[in-house]
Structure 1
Amino acid sequence: MTDKPFTLTDLKRILVEAAGADETTQPDDILDTTFALLGYESLALLETGGCIEREYGISLDDDTLTDALTPRELIDTVNERLAAARVA
């Protein structure tokens, strides 16, 4: 676990690792663009969630991952889980 917040840069890196995304074709301002419009299917998001769990030592259930429609929503959720883990 880390004391740093989870950022869009972190998410983009993990999407490249987990889903094979091409980071050079992603615009910088994707925070409020749906994952569907960005071309990510639920399986890619589940893989991404698994990478986040392993790297950051938190738990993200499948519903959390499918309910996060945009990068901003997923980043906020990850940061909430990180904050809760620090307190525990």
Structure 2
Amino acid sequence: MRELTARRPAAPDAISAGEDESTDLDGDIIDAGFRDLGYDSLAVLELASRLERDWGVVVPDEVAATLETPRAVLDYVNERAAVK
């Protein structure tokens, strides 16, 4: 079974928009809020789009808005990827 991991939690490098250059993405950020990490709502929607494309897991916009941390994204994707 394929599993999304926290190599760099919730793939902040997969988010191409909204990154605050002062944010240290190399630290332990798995439970940090995306907003605290410098990512805006458009960046989270971009992440949802990339997860659908790369993992085949649909993340509706209304769900993406509730995924506030890298851990929440990991859990959401891995729960749905396991069902496939």
TM range (shorter): 0.7 to 0.9
Q: TM-score, normalised by structure 1?
A: 0.78
Q: Is the 8 A contact 1:19 1:48 kept in 2?
A: no
Q: Secondary structure at the match of 1:25?
A: coil
Q: Is the 8 A contact 2:32 2:70 kept in 1?
A: yes
For residues 37 and 83 of structure 2, the distance between their equivalents in structure 1, rounded to whole angstroms, comes to: 29
Q: Is the 8 A contact 2:17 2:43 kept in 1?
A: yes
Aligned length: 80
For residues 40 and 13 of structure 1, the distance between their equivalents in structure 2, rounded to whole angstroms, comes to: 11
1:12 counterpart residue number: 12
Q: Report the Cα offset of residue 32 of structure 1.
A: 0.7
- Give the ranges of 4+ consecutive aligned residues of structure 1 lying more than 4 Å apart after TM superposition: none
Q: TM-score, normalised by structure 2?
A: 0.81
Q: Which one has the bigger helix percentage?
A: 1
For residues 12 and 41 of structure 2, the distance between their equivalents in structure 1, rounded to whole angstroms, comes to: 16
Counting aligned pairs with the same residue, the percent is 36
Unaligned runs of 5+ in 2: none
Which residue identity lines up with residue 30 of structure 1 in the other structure? I
Unaligned runs of 5+ in 1: none
2:74 counterpart residue number: 75
CA-atom RMSD, angstroms?
A: 1.9
Which residue identity lines up with residue 49 of structure 1 in the other structure? A
